[in-house]
Structure 1
Amino acid sequence: MNAQPSNDSDTPRGCPFGHDTELTRLYGPEAATDPRGIYERLRKEHGSVAPVLLEGDIPAWLVLGYRDSRRVLDNPLHFPRDARIWRDWREGRIPDNSPLVPMLAWRPDCVSQDGEAHRRLRGAVSDGLQSAADRGVRRHATHFANKQIDAFADSGRADLVADYADYLPMLVIARILGLAEAEGRRLVESCAQVMKGGEDAVAHDGVIREIFGELAERRRSEPGSDLATGLLEHHAALDHDEVVAHLRAVLIAAHVTTNLLARVLELVLTDASRLSGLISGQLNISAVVEEAMWNSPPLAVLPGRFAASDVELGGHRIEEGDLLVLGLAPGNLDPEIRPDPGVSVEGNQAHLAFGAGPHECPGQNIGMSIIEIAVDVLLHRLPGLRLAVPPEELTSTASTWMSLLDSLPVEFEV
């Protein structure tokens, strides 16, 4: 596992695409500023599945087509999540400090497993999340929404990314997991670095696991009304490592929700009719969330699946052990299912934003509740809320996995 990728040629060792293929990188300057342009170029050149390089020039197949993504997500027998069958992993080409490790490596959670092992672990997580929802997610969301707003309410200005969206879902989920507020705030940066990639990703992943390891130990002797205790006491009999891995997985999902909240607020504040409709009650926030889910899914690329055997997908021969990453953003804009992206998607929940199949996000209802409360509290607390810059000045920066809104400057009456 400590071997470094070979530099013997321009194409990485073990690359399944042929030594003469010039591969597109899903990281670097172009990917950070124009991911949608890359997706569309790849679609024109390769069709619904395209060969790409991930950080460290590790080869993967990017699934761009909606139907092909559903085929992969719905068929864990042919496309399992277990990274132990990943050829580059087995053959030692993924170094221990690779930023891909936190996102793709096997760990003892339901995300990494299929079949009966998956059902056992996912059942424990689903039961724990349902209990958490029953105990007051909306109350926690209201509390932290008001607390975040209190910090800038008297200034008449704020950045709703850095001052609000980056923290609110994370603080709510940290409370549900069993962490103190200070620990939740500390984890905001670590989660961001894990999703961003780069040389610090593995170290920040270690911070997350350390905090949850300590939490699991505390809850063994001091049970509480939280997800950590629920996992420890569940009849599925999770061991220490399984509990820690699932607390981590839920926290990462909360970080993804921060991006969804930012995108929803962007939609609200760049369209006066949406804003007035929400304030007057004529528009339901769920319609805005659906639009964001289709056009700017919070996770642009979902890691990852692995070919259990040689298979044809999108006109390409996928070899056993190949890595596939699912393009949720390009899949949602696939011209085969959305020939006119301008047509309203209201009422259509067939987007890929929550994934699909056995691994579909189990906490999506909690995420939706947090966003609903976050928008409602914000609009009622800040009269005259408006964007402080022209909409065309808003920018985003992407990593392999997410495209994040850089800032959302607003003004309001004091």
Structure 2
Amino acid sequence: MNSPSEYGSYAGTPPETAPAGCPVRSAASGGITRLYGPEASVDPHGIYAGLREQYGAVAPVLLEGDVPAWLVLGYRENRRVLDNPRQFTRDSRIWRDWEEGRIESTSPLIQMLGWRPDCVSQDGEPHRRLRGAVTDNLQALAGRGIRRHVTHFANKQIDAFAGSGRADLVAEYAEYLPMLVLTRLFGLGEGEGRRLATSCAQVIKGGEDALHHNDVIMQVLAELAERKRDEPGSDFTTGLMQHQAGLDHEEVLSHLRLVLITAHTTTSNLLARVLQLLLTHSSHLSGLVSGQLNISAVVEEVMWNTPPLAVCPGRFATADLELGGRRIQAGDLLVLGLTAGNLDPEIRPDAGVSIQGNQAHLAFSSGPHECPGQNVGQAIIETAVDVLLHRLPGLRLAAPAEELTSTASTWEARLDRIPVEFVPQAAGV
């Protein structure tokens, strides 16, 4: 089989040799669309819309390093992939480009797509065993005073800027608060929080530094696991190590990494987006303050329109099949367009219509690999918003709403800043 870059089964195939159903190069664009780089970082929504118009529900794209993949844009197609692990496995060991040596072990994509001994990388019984350990311990955390921890760290963050009457709620609040809570839940020292938050963000962002930052995370977690063997506690790390599923050392470390990266990056991004919605829609903010609107309804709206992961990595076709009118071959990589699927005009012909009460969004993924930490993330966001609104009277946006820019990577689009003003407050008030 030819390399995809030499006209294999993906969209690089020229018209005269393309198999039936295979998309071809666009004469207008001059090549396959990249989900990374300057254009993708500025206007991912425009890219999704253009791909949908050109290809429909499933489109050929290039990931970092010009690695070919199929981007699933349709809501129903996303559901089919997510809900059918026998056809679309998460086990990247069948990834044809990896098997045939076209993916370097140092590729930034490995941090997101490579196989590890964790529940995300496996299906069937191995997945059930490992996921059970994660789910049991996350449920224990959710019932163990997590809101108290969030309140403590939220107040501590706010104390640092309360007296100035101005702040950037991304850099000074949302960017680090979830990680500070996670360090407490994991049994880590508070001082590790900012370093880990930075490294987690770089792993998701990709680029040349992704591997280095993954090594930083793994070193911290290895030291944590070693300490918890001698000093067990009522924390997530000890819970994994002592769970009846009998996780070995590598499985423990892999799941600590998995939960740390995904929980922090998605929750911090979601928190920033919730704050953006509240501060740019006065009716939402006044409704929340007056008690006429529940914070869960605001979170739900964000989940539909700007989910914290725009693109979910990845699934691998277990056999030749058709999806969205495209011929997918065994071993092909598919990445799930969660944002694009949520905005699919076939299910949301008018994206401006309220979807309150409808929880069928793709933000938490779906199927066997649906996010198990939803309750923890929800508790962090609800408490963080509640503390902020109570601490900062007169909170308002300090810039026009249209100036709230974001920068996207392949997997997410993160707000750059949320400048605000408020009545200055003494620390601890």
TM range (shorter): over 0.9
The one-letter amino acid of 1:45's match is Q
Equivalent residue for 1:182? 191
1:95 aligns with 2:104: yes
Equivalent residue for 1:378? 388
Aligned residue among 290, 306, 309 for 2:319: 309
The one-letter amino acid of 1:331's match is G
Distance in 2, matches of 1:307 and 1:209, equals: 30
Greater mean alpha carbon deviation, residues 217-226 or residues 60-69: 217-226
Equivalent residue for 2:308? 298
Kindly tell me: are residues 275 and 94 of structure 1, through their superposed partners in 2, closer, same or farther at Cα, counting changes over 3 Å? same
Equivalent residue for 1:49? 58
Question: Once the 2 structures are TM-superposed, how far is the Cα of residue 210 of structure 1 from its aligned partner?
Answer: 1.2
Distance in 1, matches of 2:276 and 2:6, equals: 39
Kindly tell me: are residues 232 and 280 of structure 1, through their superposed partners in 2, closer, same or farther at Cα, counting changes over 3 Å? same
Q: Which runs of 4+ in 1 moved over 3 A?
A: 11-15
Aligned residue among 263, 268, 279 for 2:289: 279
Equivalent residue for 2:144? 135
Aligned residue among 240, 254, 258 for 1:245: 254
Distance in 2, matches of 1:288 and 1:166, equals: 19
TM-score (ref. length: structure 1): 0.96
**Structure 2: runs of 5+ lacking an equivalent:** 15-24, 26-30, 425-429
1:82 aligns with 2:91: yes
Distance in 1, matches of 2:143 and 2:360, equals: 26
SS class of match (1:361): coil
**Structure 1: runs of 5+ lacking an equivalent:** 1-5
Distance in 2, matches of 1:188 and 1:279, equals: 30
Q: CA RMSD for the aligned pairs?
A: 1.3
Equivalent residue for 1:409? 419
Aligned residue among 399, 405, 409 for 1:399: 409
Distance in 2, matches of 1:148 and 1:317, equals: 51
Greater mean alpha carbon deviation, residues 216-225 or residues 353-362: 216-225
1:145 aligns with 2:154: yes
Distance in 1, matches of 2:290 and 2:60, equals: 48
| CA deviation profile, 1:301-330 (whole Å, cap 9, x unmatched) | 000000001010000000000000000000
Equivalent residue for 1:161? 170
Q: Please say if residues 15 and 59 of structure 1, whose CA atoms lie closer than 8 Å, have aligned partners that are also in contact.
A: no
Aligned residue among 67, 77, 82 for 1:73: 82
1:354 aligns with 2:364: yes
Matched pairs, number = 407
1:364 aligns with 2:374: yes
Q: Please say if residues 9 and 329 of structure 2, whose CA atoms lie closer than 8 Å, have aligned partners that are also in contact.
A: no
SS class of match (2:272): helix
1:344 aligns with 2:354: yes
The one-letter amino acid of 1:283's match is L
1:114 aligns with 2:108: no
SS class of match (1:99): coil
SS class of match (1:56): coil
Distance in 2, matches of 1:210 and 1:14, equals: 39
Distance in 2, matches of 1:209 and 1:108, equals: 14
Identity %: 71
SS class of match (2:152): helix
SS class of match (1:302): strand
Q: Please say if residues 7 and 13 of structure 2, whose CA atoms lie closer than 8 Å, have aligned partners that are also in contact.
A: no
TM-score (ref. length: structure 2): 0.93
| CA deviation profile, 1:137-180 (whole Å, cap 9, x unmatched) | 11111111111101100010000000000011111122111211
SS class of match (2:89): coil
